[in-house]
Amino acid sequence: MSQILFTLFSLFTVVCAVGVVASKNAVNGAMCLLLCLAGVAGLFVQLHAYLLAFLLLLVYAGAVVALFLFIIMLLDTQGGRAWRFQGLQLAAALVGLGLLLAGLNLLAVRGRLPAPVPVVSAGAPLKNYAYQLFTTYLLPVQVIGFLLLIAMLGVIVLSKRFDAKGEA
């Protein structure tokens, strides 16, 4: 059952990541990013890293993607033109495809990847992590949160449209 769930979460994450890159609409791309992060959180749960899964959903899926969506809707962006591969981009795409095929071939020839070492979850490391977060690293976390707030307010001010009289 664990192998089936891992395969489903992996496929879901890869499909959503391709949706992020291939989407012409920015809102659809942000929603695919949200689903991709949910798939990665599912993979973390499979590895018994519950704290990382929770933090990924809380911080990235809950806050960062919501901020992206607000900024995208505030700026009212339109989809761009379709991509046309030119010489250098086509060569880079072919090199990347070749490397991917070589990696998949090596994986098929050598067999499976080694099984991960099981992680024993206990309360003591989590308590030490929380203690460090709220004592030693409290100021950097607060500064980063304040900088994100300033960046969000700056985007709102810069995207505001003014009429000829100078009023909003």
Q: Mean pLDDT, to the nearest integer, of 108-116?
A: 68
Residue 111 has pLDDT above 60, yes or no: yes
Average pLDDT, the chain: 80
Report the length, in residues, of the chain: 168
Q: Which residues neighbour 57 within 8 Å (Cβ) at sequence distance 6 or greater?
A: 37, 38, 41
Q: What is the pLDDT of residues 66-94, one digit of tens each?
A: 878 777 777 766 655 655 667 777 888 88
Confidence (pLDDT) at 147 = 84
pTM for this predicted structure: 0.54
Max Cα-Cα span within the chain: 71
Confidence (pLDDT) at 123 = 58
Q: Mean pLDDT, to the nearest integer, of 23-42?
A: 88
Confidence (pLDDT) at 88 = 78
Q: Token match 């960062």: residue?
A: 64
Q: Which residues neighbour 19 within 8 Å (Cβ) at sequence distance 6 or greater?
A: 28, 29, 32, 35, 36
Q: Answer for the pair 51, 126: CB distance below 8 angstroms, yes or no.
A: yes
